[in-house]
Amino acid sequence: MILNEKLRRRYRVMAEQRILVVGGLCTELHVLTGEFPDIGRSAVAERHYWTPEGEGLDTALALSRLGADCLLCAKTGDDAAAKELRGYLSDEKTDVRFVTPAHGCDTAVRVTVTDREGGRRSLFCPGAGGLLDRKDIEEAFISYPDAVLIQAGIPARAAAAAAVTAAAERVPVFVMSSDGGAFIPALGRTECEIFSVAEEEIEACTGIEPSDQEKCMKACIVLSQAVKAKYIILRLGDGDRGYFLFDGKYYNFISACGEKKRRGIKTDGVFSAALVLEYMKSGGDIKRACGYAAVAAAAFVSRGGGLRAYPSADEIRRYAEKYAERAEEY
């Protein structure tokens, strides 16, 4: 059985890249209100609703829509929310055999309150998600993934375990988390293909505000001294300001594609999924992969964001046709 799996990974066609996502799962309570109450006061909200969330879930959904053989490694509680999350992911053709319950614990939950102006305040309770450990990670590697994509919503020790295990198995590692800064001390000098940081993390990690290309370069140099990565990508303004790519010596700036990002639409999951899949498919062409991911993120935004907005490869290609400089590439 083990030999068969090894042979399958060796000869697997590019269209069937098996990507193991290690990231968080949660349910999110969205509350919409006219305005935030002052401290010590209460207000009547206009409406509320629940959605399945988490960067692990977002990335897994995006990969599945793009046709990847996607597995998710995550920890949930043993509650009704966990059953709903597993069912939702299974319906979307994501392999959930490594989404395991922590008995006696609740699934992670986020509460987000949004006012009429689009201002947001959030609280996050990690619950069982904080219990993901090395044993969970090592068990997921019996699937023989072609690549490992580390996302937010997991403990730093789990991120480190995923990177170390992948390195031992000679599987490429991609750290695409918005929690990347928190992972740096745990990752140490474990080698990864790409280390990507969201704009809100850059200044916290480096002490440098990425307000222009010179400062972006300085921030990348600081990061390259802290993590061992073939490429570093700064996601500026969640992608609507573009992507700054650094290979240790030279930089490239990948401009944002399409219409301006709508407030409140997060593109981390779709960008990460498209980047890693195209990077693997193209044999490590980082500029092509980053450009493709920028188009995928723009296509996602154009569809209004949300769980049903993740584009297929055909939809990304059609969207790219609006931009002559990228249409022929994809």
Q: How far apart are CA 24 and CA 132, in angstroms?
A: 9
The amino acid occupying position 27 is T
Does a structural domain hold residue 22? yes
What pLDDT score does 7 carry?
39
Q: Which domain holds residue 205?
A: 2-35+47-327
Under 8 Å between Cβ of 19 and 71:
yes
Under 8 Å between Cβ of 153 and 108:
yes
Does a structural domain hold residue 42? no
- Please give the model's pTM, rounded to 2 decimal places: 0.90
Q: For residue range 64-95, what is the model confidence (pLDDT) as tens digits?
A: 999 999 999 999 999 999 999 999 999 999 99
pLDDT, greater one: 221 or 237: 221
Q: For residue range 145-202, what is the model confidence (pLDDT) as tens digits?
A: 999 999 999 999 999 999 999 999 999 999 987 776 778 888 888 899 999 998 888 9
Say if strands 26-32 and 109-114 run parallel, antiparallel, or are unpaired.
parallel
Does a structural domain hold residue 310? yes
Tokens of 176: 């695409």
Q: For residue range 12-66, what is the model confidence (pLDDT) as tens digits?
A: 444 478 999 999 999 999 999 998 988 999 989 999 999 999 999 999 999 999 9
Does a structural domain hold residue 250? yes
What pLDDT score does 4 carry?
47
Q: For residue range 250-262, what is the model confidence (pLDDT) as tens digits?
A: 999 988 876 555 5
What pLDDT score does 66 carry?
95
For residue 299, the Cα-to-chain-centroid distance in whole angstroms is 16
Does a structural domain hold residue 41? no
- Among candidates 294, 283, 295, 284, which has minimal Cα distance to 322? 295
What pLDDT score does 147 carry?
97
Q: Domain tally for the chain?
A: 1
- Among candidates 45, 43, 54, which has minimal Cα distance to 76? 54
CATH code, 67: 3.40.1190.20
Q: How far apart are CA 6 and CA 251, in angstroms?
A: 36
Q: How far apart are CA 256 and CA 243, in angstroms?
A: 7
**pLDDT mean over 307-317:** 93
Angle CA 163–231–208, to nearest 5: 100
CB atoms within 10 A of CB 236: 20
Residue 326: pLDDT above 60?
no
What pLDDT score does 199 carry?
86
Q: Which helix (H) or strand (E) holds 71?
A: strand 69-76
Q: How far apart are CA 110 and CA 104, in angstroms?
A: 19
Tell me the CB-side half-sphere exposure of residue 189, using CA atoms within 13 A: 1
Q: List phi, psi (to 5°) of 160.
A: -65, -40
- Mean pLDDT value across the chain: 89
Does a structural domain hold residue 40? no
Question: Which band of pLDDT confidence, cut at 50, 70 and 90, is reported for residue 10?
Answer: very low
**pLDDT mean over 234-254:** 88
Q: How far apart are CA 237 and CA 245, in angstroms?
A: 14
Place of tokens 């450990």: 133
Q: How long, in residues, is the chain? A: 330
What pLDDT score does 239 carry?
67
CB atoms within 10 A of CB 16: 11
Q: How far apart are CA 70 and CA 104, in angstroms?
A: 28
Does a structural domain hold residue 179? yes
Strand partners, 244: 234, 253
Does a structural domain hold residue 221? yes
